[in-house]
Amino acid sequence: MGTLEEKVAIVTGAGQGMGSAIAHSLAQQGASVVVNDINETTAKATVSDIKSYNSAVISYVGNVTDIHDVEQMIKHTENNFGHTDVLVNNAGVLRPTPLLQISEEEWDYVVEGNLKSTFLCSKAVLPSMQQNRWGRIINISSSAGKNVSTIGGAHYTAGKAAVLGLTRHAAKEVAEYGITVNAVCPGLIDTEMVRSTISDERKYEYANIFPAKRLGQPSEVADLVAFLASDQASYITGASIDINGGDLMI
């Protein structure tokens, strides 16, 4: 028996990388899962992988920075599974641009992709969680949110720091309803976001300076998220939990 039997989870940006690993992990714990991504092909691929061991999985293709898409995602979830117990705000975007070269348009794209998406999805699921007096919101921030991004620009660092503020504030407002809101702060994790931004050579250079001498794996972050989603984590809220192989210890 998994720790999330009869729970319904939405994972944003679950077409690849950490989101896909998180969707797998929650499904393995028995949750019904809504796989969101803006990319239809990858969202459907995650769903078909999970279907091999958990049939209660559906996709919702949409942009989580768009309020209309977010509202439709919640409706789609309710129509299929009744309500939402767990929301993982994983979708995010990174650009490596130096500050003086960041355009206004790129600033908005990166900050909204990390912060507005988290706000819109959280706001959309909270009424149903409050009614059920149980809920879990897990926001994927970054070590960047506590320090400075290793490979992203100032907009990425600022957006991820703001996600930590939103996490604490939301946690305070909803704790009395049995809802926890936490952030996970991964260091460098071996996903497409990293592979498409830096060369293999730079990846190995970074790995060498981390105490663990390697990058993290998406499944390692997914295990932490599954724990935070479970009943065992009921008294953890407003926290920002590091998972970085010792790269940042504060």
Ligand X SMILES: NC(=O)c1ccc[n+]([C@@H]2O[C@H](COP(=O)([O-])OP(=O)(O)OC[C@H]3O[C@@H](n4cnc5c(N)ncnc54)[C@H](O)[C@@H]3O)[C@@H](O)[C@H]2O)c1
Of the residues 60, 109, 156, 235, which is catalytic?
Answer: 156
* Strand residues in 96-178 grouped as ranges (E): 135-140
Q: Tokens 């899962």 belong to which residue?
A: 33
> C-alpha distances in angstroms, 80 versus 35, 49, 59, 83, 232?
13, 19, 11, 9, 27
Q: Which is nearer to ligand X, 175 or 243 (CB)?
A: 243
The yes or no reply on residue 18 touching ligand X (CB under 6 A) is: yes
Site for ligand X in 190-209 (CB under 6 A): 191-194
Q: Which helix (H) or strand (E) holds 179?
A: strand 179-186
Provide the H-helix boundaries in 86-178: 104-111, 117-132, 154-174
The yes or no reply on residue 46 touching ligand X (CB under 6 A) is: no
The yes or no reply on residue 92 touching ligand X (CB under 6 A) is: yes
Q: How far is the CB of 63 from ligand X (least distance, A)?
A: 5
111, two tokens: 């900050």
> C-alpha distances in angstroms, 83 versus 7, 87, 129, 246?
9, 11, 8, 38
Site for ligand X in 102-161 (CB under 6 A): 113, 117, 140, 142
Q: Helix (H, G, I), strand (E, B), or coil: what is residue 247? A: coil
Residue 206 annotated in active site = no
**Of these, 15, 135, 153, 245, which contacts ligand X (CB under 6 A)?**
15
Quote the CA–CA distance of 141 and 244 in Å, as a whole number.
Answer: 12
**Of these, 33, 87, 91, 138, which contacts ligand X (CB under 6 A)?**
91
Q: Which helix (H) or strand (E) holds 30?
A: none
Site for ligand X in 48-77 (CB under 6 A): 63-65
Q: Which is nearer to ligand X, 56 or 207 (CB)?
A: 207
Q: 216: which DSSP letter?
A: B
Q: How far is the CB of 120 from ligand X (least distance, A)?
A: 10
Q: Which is nearer to ligand X, 64 or 224 (CB)?
A: 64
The yes or no reply on residue 39 touching ligand X (CB under 6 A) is: yes
The yes or no reply on residue 26 touching ligand X (CB under 6 A) is: no
Catalytic residues: 156
Which residues bind to ligand X, rule: CB under 6 A?
12-13, 15-19, 36-39, 42, 63-65, 90-94, 113, 117, 140, 142, 186, 188-189, 191-194
